[in-house]
Amino acid sequence: MRRMRVVPIVATVALMLLFALSANAHPVANGPSGAADESSNVQPIQWAPPAARNTGLYLERGNVGGFVGYPFTLNDELGADGVVFGASGSYLFWPFFGIEVAGTRQNLDFLPQNVIDTMPPLSRGTIESFVISASALFRAPVSSIVSIYGTAGMAYFINDFKADSAGADDLAEFGFLVGDSVENALGLNLSGGVNVLVWRSFGLFTELRYLVATADTMAIITDEVTQISAQFPSTQKLQSIIWSGGVRFYF
């Protein structure tokens, strides 16, 4: 009888041990250990703001570039001589406003009237000017790749005069020697143009630029026989409209 009572007790204990072992081997999902396992396998969700979209040239803060063009003169005393070339750089403080600095190299032929009758302020020759300008820049986008712009500011003309030997020879026939000079001058720069963005950091442009200044001139004529000199101070208005095109690199 005692043996028959012991068997159910042993069987009950064995079942309880098996149940406990199975619970440890497979923890419930809501338990602490189950939550830890799930958190180790699930990746956290990461949020990132949308990438900035290039909607036009006004997103570019600055640029540098170079250009080649041709000058058109506005009076009868000056004539265009060859091509114009230069470089420029600009920086935007706001989407539509910034500054531009440019350097322009141009040659203008001085075309005096009758040398003997009018005694011009300069003999025949070429006025070589290197113009440095600093201007306010206004720019507005037309589309995602095209923008228009304009500048207005000051220009400083660094001038040099290269006399034509023909003019000196004309006076030499009458026994006179001539010397000429053109002073540097402060003037005005105005421009307007169109930018076309080819790639994000590279573009093309075309523009019209107006440069004007009034420079002091001096012509000195010396009599070869008496060595007496006469000075003829005057002024010369240097003005031109330059049509140019070039490339720009944006940053």
Per-residue model confidence as pLDDT tens digits over 59-112: 568 999 999 999 999 888 888 888 999 999 999 998 899 999 999 999 999 876
Task: Tell me, yes or no, whether 51 lies in a domain.
Answer: no
- pLDDT value at residue 134: 98
Considering the domain architecture, whether residues 197 and 153 belong to the same structural domain is answered as yes
Cβ neighbours, 10 Å, residue 39: 9
| SS3 sequence of 203-235 | EEEEEEEEEEEEEEEEEEEEECCCCCEEEEEEE
Six-digit token string for 222 = 């010396």
pTM score, two decimals?
Answer: 0.71
Has residue 67 been placed in a domain?
Answer: yes
Residue 197 tokens read as 């963005």
For residues 136 and 196, membership in a common domain is answered with yes
Residues contacting residue 226 through CB under 8 Å, at least 6 positions apart: none
Q: Are residues 21 and 133 in the same domain?
A: no
pLDDT of residue 177: 73
Containing domain of residue 100, as a range? 59-250
The answer to whether position 39 is within a domain reads no
The answer to whether 232 and 41 have CB atoms below 8 angstroms apart is no
Q: Are 122 and 244 contained in the same domain?
A: yes
What was the pLDDT predicted at 58? Answer: 46
pLDDT in tens, 34-56: 444 455 565 665 555 444 444 44
Q: Report the mean per-residue pLDDT for the chain.
A: 79
**Is residue 213 in some structural domain?**
yes
Mean pLDDT, residues 174-191 taken together: 87
Give pLDDT, residue 200.
80
Whether 238 and 126 map to the same domain: the answer is yes
Whether residue 123 is predicted with pLDDT greater than 80 in this model: the reply is: no
Q: Does one domain contain both 146 and 198?
A: yes
Q: What is the pLDDT of residue 56?
A: 46
What's residue 57's pLDDT?
Answer: 46
CATH number, position 137 = 2.40.160.20
Please return the burial class of 231, using the count of CB atoms within 10 Å of its CB with bins 0-12, 13-18 and 19+: exposed
Shared domain check, 217 and 93: yes
The alpha carbon of 32 is separated from its chain's Cα centroid by a whole number of angstroms, namely 64
Same domain for 106 and 22: no
R_g over Cα of the chain: 42
Distance CA 215, CA 159 (A): 9
Give the tokens for residue 232: 């003829």
The pLDDT, as a whole number, for residue 16 is: 61
DSSP string, 113-159: S-HHHH--SS-SEEEEEEEEEEEEEEEEESSSSEEEEEEEEEEEEEE
Domain membership of residue 100 (yes or no) is yes
Summarize the confidence of residues 149-153 as an average pLDDT. 98
Q: Are residues 139 and 21 in the same domain?
A: no
| Domain count along the chain | 2
Q: Is residue 204 part of a domain?
A: yes
The verdict on 232 and 115 lying in the same domain is yes
